[in-house]
Structure 1
Amino acid sequence: MTPILVVVRGNSASGKTTTAREVRRRYGRGCALIEQDHVRRVVLREHGGNGVAPSFIMTMARAALDAGYHVVLEGILHTAQYGDPLRRLIADHPGPTACFYLDVSFDETLRRHLARAEPIPVTAETMRGWYAERDLLGVPGEQVFPETAAFDEVVTTILHSSGLGRAAAMTPCPATCPRCAEKAR
């Protein structure tokens, strides 16, 4: 089977990271998860702007797809900086691609951020600077989830409409993977 590319985007605190992690967990092994924040902040130690992150992230996604992994790519991924590289990645990928946008209002973004177990130390003003209302890619089939969509509904929809729900995993998790089974407890 040709690998599947899944792109999950949205503003800060929209639920994209939690959603992407759960999609990958439910799928099992054989699916790479590429988190924009981790790559940008931890791997590259970039603070935004015109850094190497967009091309680096697209290269990571291409390498994983070329190796036969499905890919879940998630992040704010603002179209001003990531739109063209993302559209090229999608256009160049010969297999199925599914794009999702978690549409959350700024007020809800702030509420969710403050409800995090460990909120990142930023002000509402800083978050306002990051916020881009309905920053859609404009690619065919892009699906938008409203802030009222339930977490399980979003995850299940992504699995089924992307095709990951029908794709065979290397090993399903957590059923046969003791390490994942332990984490799920």
Structure 2
Amino acid sequence: MTPTLVVIRGNSGSGKTTTAREVRRRYGRGCALIEQDYVRRTMLREHDSGAVDAVAPGFLVGIARAALGSGYHVVLEGILHSRRYGEELRRLVDDYDGRVFHLEVSFDETVRRHRRRAEPIPVTAEQMREWYDPHDLLRVRGERVLPDSMGFEQVVTTVLHDSGLAAAAPSTPCPVRCPRCAGKV
């Protein structure tokens, strides 16, 4: 079975992390979640700036390739600006027939959602405006734009079904071959 690649992109505060975490939770074991902010900020301590050559784009794609190559389905999420991440992401999506979802949320709605987050990032609306890039699509085959008129449940269900994850079986050692998990599948 070929592992599934799902890429969830959008502006800060659009709901991509919450969506990706819920997609993975509903799928269960056998699905790797790769969060751009965690990799870039925590693992690499790298700023997301066009001023320097960034390690994060290649690093994120390398992690995704390693997980996919090991049989894990992958949900990769982040702002993933097409100017900095586009080339690497397009190759990854092409190589694994990935499904790309862009959460298209207005600036005012991103600010409102950001303020309601359980773990808000300490940024101002002015900083968020600097990052905001409306309709920053990868322009790959099958890229799906999900508007802010869709509710959270509808977005999660759309991602699960349109990507094929809703019907995909795990192929990784855990839970397929793991002795602790085998009896629970």
- Tell me if both proteins adopt one fold, taking TM over 0.5 as the criterion: yes
1:43 alignment partner AA: M
1:123 alignment partner AA: T
Q: Secondary structure at the match of 1:71?
A: strand
Give the Å deviation of 1:85: 0.6
Query: Contact (CA 8 Å) 2:92, 2:98: kept in 1 or not?
Result: no
Give the Å deviation of 1:118: 3.0
Query: Contact (CA 8 Å) 1:32, 1:69: kept in 2 or not?
Result: yes
1:103 aligns with 2:104: yes
Q: Distance in 1 between matches of 2:120 and 2:168?
A: 35
Q: Secondary structure at the match of 1:9?
A: strand
Match of 2:145 in 1: 144
User: Which residues of structure 1 form unaligned runs of 5+?
Assistant: 178-185
Q: Secondary structure at the match of 2:101?
A: strand
Q: Secondary structure at the match of 2:115?
A: helix
Q: Secondary structure at the match of 1:23?
A: helix
Match of 1:164 in 2: 165
How many aligned residue pairs are there?
Answer: 172
Q: Secondary structure at the match of 1:74?
A: strand
Which of 82, 97, 109 is equivalent to 1:79?
82
Match of 2:127 in 1: 126
Which of 67, 89, 95 is equivalent to 2:92?
89
Give the Å deviation of 1:171: 4.4
Q: State the TM-score, normalized to the length of structure 1.
A: 0.89
Q: Distance in 1 between matches of 2:7 and 2:103?
A: 11
Q: Distance in 1 between matches of 2:128 and 2:77?
A: 18
Query: Contact (CA 8 Å) 1:79, 1:136: kept in 2 or not?
Result: yes
1:61 aligns with 2:64: yes
Q: Identity percentage over the alignment? A: 66
Query: Contact (CA 8 Å) 1:11, 1:130: kept in 2 or not?
Result: yes
Q: Distance in 2 between matches of 1:171 and 1:64?
A: 15
Q: Distance in 2 between matches of 1:2 and 1:157?
A: 20
